[in-house]
Structure 1
């Protein structure tokens, strides 16, 4: 459950770019990704999965659906009251439902979510609060466990550190620490979640995550098209796991 929430909260801090729009390398090339493929090779074998991406009239992502597994998808629904929902399904079964509330800077202010488990287990609920600096950079995130019997209990605090240029270099919590180094020449063009999430337009060249005294290093390399859009990424981990991502943009 913790990993699920982390992926929902900060996935874009590693791979996301600025909001979906037509503005790349000074031309009119679209940054809307219409599909992508994830190819993972690990000790247990190899899996390949392709996803289709859909948008609404305001260029907001509404669905990321697997084309290999029927019913496996993430659905976003937006309201007029500065909030949106995220529902994750596998085999058409709802696994996770969350609500995100937007502040007056069009950034995530707080969230509430429920993870659904198979009977006889009950579903868990979790909430979170986001804190920003004057540059709209996420500096702290608090995660709470909720219960109908007692007030919310603080479960985790994640702190984010930036360099002088405002680029994320480290995030820390009680049970892990992540740090990043970036390539200098190219910018990220990948947007796979709603642009209300905090984002980083730099491409990591190396990332490191330390848990329980063990550090896992990941080396990232990229390929680009003629419009300087990211069309491929290879992430090679020190434990032997290799993830290859490829992206198709709207023409």
Structure 2
């Protein structure tokens, strides 16, 4: 139905072949996009580089948003190599374990600030860096979770953090809409990813979500990627500011 041939996409957040970011990268590449892929650090590189190479990524770089200068280096390379960017996929989040596993009201100021910086503010920084590379418009995507709007047991501090991310999506969409830059959050139900493994009792949440969802099975990274690719396409040019549930209908149930 649509093509991303010749479009340039940066995908941040691949940790392994089970990552949501990897599902997005696969789908973008399948529709013809050229890819830039990042990994967190040297330890992650040995897992991510082979995946990026298999996808034919033209740019491969480290990116730890907490390390000064790395984000600027990535966008500098994109500017030098491509001169533009059409799609940004931000699929990173972090919270210190001690804060994540405790009550929200007990989380430390330092832990909360770190979670907000990595999970939310880094997306805004990336959008700001992408803006001059999108003179003809583009699409910026991040990843949320329904724990942003409802209390999910054991999701704890990440609930308020994802709520902030979704609000940031709406404000960024409003501010950049006149430039043709669209901003969205992808909100799959529970997925068995490396990041999710840090949440206590996550297997119980997976089972409950599968049971409650009207279609009785969980989303896959391929499902998320398909939505990401569509939102990045010209056919989705009139969509912006959305939080897109990709959860087999789980979010409509009580």
| TM-score normalised over the length of structure 1 | 0.31
**Larger % of helix: which?**
2
| TM-score normalised over the length of structure 2 | 0.31
Larger Rg: 1
